[in-house]
Amino acid sequence: MDAELRQVANGFDYKVRSFEKYDINGYRFRTFGKELSMADQKSKNCGVSAIGEGGTEYYGRVEAIYELLFYGANPPNVVVFKCYWFQPKETRRTHEHLGLVEIKQSTHLDVPDVYITAQQATQVFYLPWACQSDPNLKGWDVVYEVPPRVRPPPPNEEDYEPHINPDTYEGQFFQETRLSKKRFKNRSTSPLSRNKKRRKKKRLLLRMTCQCLTDYVQEAFHMLMHLLMMMMSTSLLIVMMMMHLLTPKHI
């Protein structure tokens, strides 16, 4: 048996370390109780999401953060989140064509296991609809994934292929969730379609470059004409002064 696995099998101390905030996966999580006690709160950091069995996405908020202290000479560092989970089956609406997920925070998923490891956590925040008088929107919150604060990966060819038509500006505008990313990833595009998109982007870039050059030449022409007018005015003034000085004075 592996030594680290043996240490885990021996169990951990009944005393644990508790935190009100914890940094993991490029996120800073705070407990729900900590945010309630903050008078000058400027951000929400208690929203959490995790993927369970069968690919089901669970949404909730962090209630407590614990670090488990295992026995042994080289104990592993295990941090777990105790979460308040919302009921996913009854209070979630998924709009695949928009890439949005809505959740209701009014119910509770009553399960004995409410813990996840910190590595499993993805940070989200919930934004309620502004129009709460509409029965279809009242009580529903839109789930937004928080981008992790890490160095972004280098861009690839797919990053330059938007989901909109650069000529007509028609397409889909939404925040990609795990569901929509999977849907677009499974789409297969033919080489002919990719070449057509590249040609459209080149034509759009060429039109923008020509427009910029035209504006630059027009601005330069106006500046040159203004400068010539100033030079002509100065030269005319000098000639008039010389003629005045050379004109004979009659006594």
Does residue 76 contact residue 127 with C-beta atoms inside 8 Å?
no
User: What whole-number distance in Å separates Cα of residue 143 and Cα of residue 124?
Assistant: 7
User: What whole-number distance in Å separates Cα of residue 175 and Cα of residue 151?
Assistant: 19
Of the given ranges (16-25, 135-144, 170-179), which has the lowest mean pLDDT?
Answer: 170-179
Q: What is the 3-state secondary structure (H, E, C) of 211-246?
A: HHHHHHHHHHHHHHHHHHHHHHHHHHHHHHHHHHHH
- Residue 64: pLDDT over 90: yes
- Residue 202: pLDDT over 80: no
**Spatial CA neighbour of 149 closest among 46, 26, 44, 47:** 26
Structure tokens at 142: 């839109």
Q: 245 pLDDT band (50/70/90 cuts)?
A: low
Q: 133 pLDDT band (50/70/90 cuts)?
A: confident
pLDDT for position 237: 66
Structure tokens at 187: 């789409």
**Spatial CA neighbour of 141 closest among 154, 151, 159, 129:** 129
pTM for the full predicted model: 0.58
Does residue 105 contact residue 118 with C-beta atoms inside 8 Å?
no
Of the given ranges (22-26, 56-60, 156-160), which has the lowest mean pLDDT?
Answer: 156-160
Does residue 50 contact residue 100 with C-beta atoms inside 8 Å?
no
DSSP the chain: --HHHHHHHT-B-S--EEESEEEETTEEEE-HHHHHT-TT------EEEEE-GGG-EEEEEEEEEEEEEB-SSS--EEEEEEEEE--TTTSEEEETTTTEEEEESS-----S--EEEGGG-EEEEEEE-S-TTSTTTTTEEEEEEPPPSSPPPPP-GGGG--SB-TTT--B------HHHHHHHHT----HHHHHHHHHHHHHHHHHHHHHHHHHHHHHHHHHHHHHHHHHHHHHHHHHHHHHHHHSPPP-
**The dihedral sign for the CA sequence 230, 231, 234, 235:** negative
